[in-house]
Amino acid sequence: MSQAQPVIAIYPGSFDPITRGHEDIARRTLRIADRLYVAVAYTATQAKKSLFTVEERVGIIREVFAGDDRVEAVAFRGLMVDFARDRGARFVIRGLRAVSDFEYELQLAQMNRELWEELETVFLAPELEYSFLSSSLVREVAGLGGDISRFVSPPVMKRLRAKLGG
């Protein structure tokens, strides 16, 4: 009798920092995948000013998902499709907050399929309460002293306070 191959997914992004919206997408991914790599890219696909280093982000994600051995936070360099192939992943998970996200995400998905036709992209919409949430908004509000406790987990809040003061 043969064992079924585990379903492995990659959730790539910058996660600077990871928000409750990201967590929602990651946890719901585990409904369709046995294992999830939350993959922090060393090379950003969009020009952004980072608050946390890649290593710090991986550490924060590990804290957030501590206790769930189905989720592994990792950093990667190079093409995400190569990373996915090396990890045995067949799915890329992408969150769509609004229609404005779709055009860019569709282009990425199509390019990834051109680079490796066996890789599928699955788009998930976050829960409504997180549909407006982005890492850049969290950084901005936190930097101006606003309360972001509803938008990030306690480990993230702790690291933001340490980084930004307060």
Active-site annotation holder among 48, 77, 158, 161: 48
3-state secondary structure 82-116: HHHHHHCCCEEEEECCCHHHHHHHHHHHHHHHHHC
Q: Tell me if residue 14 is catalytic.
A: no
142: helix, strand or coil: helix
Active-site annotation holder among 20, 22, 57, 159: 22
From residue 34, how far is each of 1, 60, 94 by CA, in Å?
Answer: 20, 22, 17
Query: Which of 33, 22, 39 shows the shortest CA–CA distance to 134?
Result: 22
Active-site annotation holder among 20, 35, 57, 135: 135
Amino acid at 97: R
Please name the residue ranges forming H helices in the chain. Answer: 20-29, 54-64, 80-87, 99-115, 135-143, 154-164
Q: Tell me if residue 135 is catalytic.
A: yes
Q: Using the Cα atoms of residue 158, residue 164, residue 165 and residue 166 in order, give the sign of their dihedral.
A: negative
The greatest distance separating any two alpha carbons of the chain, rounded to the nearest whole angstrom, comes to 59
Active-site annotation holder among 28, 62, 97, 113: 97
Q: Tell me if residue 97 is catalytic.
A: yes
Q: Tell me if residue 22 is catalytic.
A: yes
What is the set of active-site residues? 22, 48, 97, 135
